[in-house]
Amino acid sequence: MVNDNTSPIASQNYDVEVLATIPFYPMFRQSIIDLLASWDAPVGAWLDTGCGTGALAADACKVFPHTKFTLADPSAKMLAIARKKLADNPQVAFVESDSQSLDYADNAFDIITAIQSHHYLGEDERRRAVRNCFRMLKPSGMFITFENIKPLSEAGIRLGLKRWAKYQRHRGKTAAAVEGNIARFGKEYFPISILDHLELLRSIGFLHVEVLWASYMQAGFYAIKPDGMG
């Protein structure tokens, strides 16, 4: 395990190695951008928490040239890569912080994204992180999250992990790396089921809560904050 971020991939290798670790990873960004390009609402201020190397913002800036992006991550090394990737881009600002500690004003952002970050949190921390995102989101704003998920049964977990291992081996991961990733499930990251994700978002106060994307052991969700709520 490297110690410069919460993933098992060193920051400088993340953009390449994640493709051999998470199936269809580029589709996460594509799905988010397509969703927002189809949404009839302002995309003026966008917070990407757990931004990693800034790949989402780098793609989104091309589609939303007038949007102001705030990129947050608790890893200084991830942020350094993001800063380099988006150097001299006036649309982007950076902050070193995790989701639950961000202290922007209420109703500050039209969009908040949290991609492959909150599954590192325990139940109480995850709830605080999502509640904080809800607080910072404008009324009618959208929260989008992609996370590792937990199948509903023990049989589903076993099959899902076996399928994920096969994917990683096919993409060139060593046996030791594959075994290490599988061993992290439920120990170094803490996935919850799709149903639990939907219930969490509803319980925080989001109005429209939907599954955006799902495959292997990852899923994406979007949720809209009601009108008139601070």
User: Which among 188, 203, 214, 74 has a CA at the least distance from the CA of 122?
Assistant: 188
Edge to edge, the sheet with strand 68-73 lists 92-96, 68-73, 45-49, 109-115, 137-148, 218-224, 208-215
Rounded CA-CA distance 181/164 in Å is 10
The per-residue pLDDT for 11 is 81
Q: Is the pTM of this model over 0.85?
A: yes
Instruction: Provide the pLDDT for residue 176.
Output: 96
Average pLDDT score, the chain: 94
The pLDDT assigned to 230 comes to 43
User: How sure is the predictor about 13, in pLDDT bands with cuts at 50, 70 and 90?
Assistant: confident
Residue 199 confidence (pLDDT) above 90: yes
Does the pLDDT of residue 2 top 50, yes or no?
A: no
CA-CA distance, 159 to 151, in Å (whole number)?
A: 9
The mean per-residue pLDDT over the stretch 111-140 comes to: 97
pLDDT grade, residue 14 (50/70/90)? confident
For range 5-9, the mean pLDDT: 69
Complete domains list, the chain, with CATH: 11-224 (3.40.50.150)
